[in-house]
């Protein structure tokens, strides 16, 4: 079995050398770049977290009848989650993928 794995590995290396396969990427983000792509992605990440915070706060307020307070709290948490999302887009987690 080890023999076969070794062959697969050498075959892969040869394929990379000959340009048949792309070289393995450094980090595993694997998402295409491009200024527009990244900009759009960051915008979506920010807004989607805000929407979720808004929805949770609104629903909890409606359920518990606690006026606007939970909505306000969860909007702030939503913004924080959005920033966290953006941070994760900008800095993909390192480590084995």
Partner 1 sequence: MAAEGKAIDALSQFALTPVLGKVGASVGFTQSNAFMLLAVGLITALMISGTARRAIIPGRLQALAEAAYEFVYEMATGQIGEEGKRYFPFIFSLFMFVLFGNLLGLLPYAFTYTSHIAVTFTLAVIVIVLVTAVGIAIHGWHWFSYFKPPGLSPLLAVLVAPIEVISYLSRPISLSVRLFANMVAGHVMLKVFASFVVMLGTAGFLGFLGALAPIAINVALVGFEFLVAFLQAYVFAVLTSIYLHDAVHLH
- Min dist. Cβ of residue 17 to partner 1 (A): 18
Decide: 45 and 86 in contact? Cβ < 8 Å.
Answer: yes
Of 20, 72, 84, 91, the residue at the interface with partner 1 (CB under 8 A) is 84
The stretch near partner 1 (CB under 8 A) out of 3-11, 44-52, 63-71 is: 44-52
Q: From CA 53, how far away is CA 72, in angstroms rounded?
A: 9
Could you give the C-alpha distances from 9 to 12, 20, 24, 66, in angstroms and in order?
Answer: 5, 14, 12, 61
Q: From CA 62, how far away is CA 56, in angstroms rounded?
A: 10
Of 14, 44, 72, 91, the residue at the interface with partner 1 (CB under 8 A) is 44
* Residues at the contact surface with partner 1, assessed by CB under 8 A: 24, 28-32, 40-41, 44-45, 47-49, 51-53, 56, 74, 77-78, 80-82, 84-85, 88, 96-97
């Amino acid at each position: 079995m080890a023999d076969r794995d070794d062959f697969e590995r050498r075959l892969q290396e040869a394929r990379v050398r000959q340009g048949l396969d792309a070289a393995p990427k450094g980090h595993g983000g694997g998402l295409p770049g491009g200024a527009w792509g990244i900009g759009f992605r960051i915008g979506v990440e920010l807004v989607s977290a805000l929407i979720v915070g808004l929805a949770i706060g609104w629903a909890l307020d409606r359920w518990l009848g606690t006026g606007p307070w939970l909505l306000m709290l969860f909007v702030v948490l939503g913004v924080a989650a959005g920033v966290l999302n953006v941070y994760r887009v900008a800095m993909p987690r390192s480590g084995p993928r």
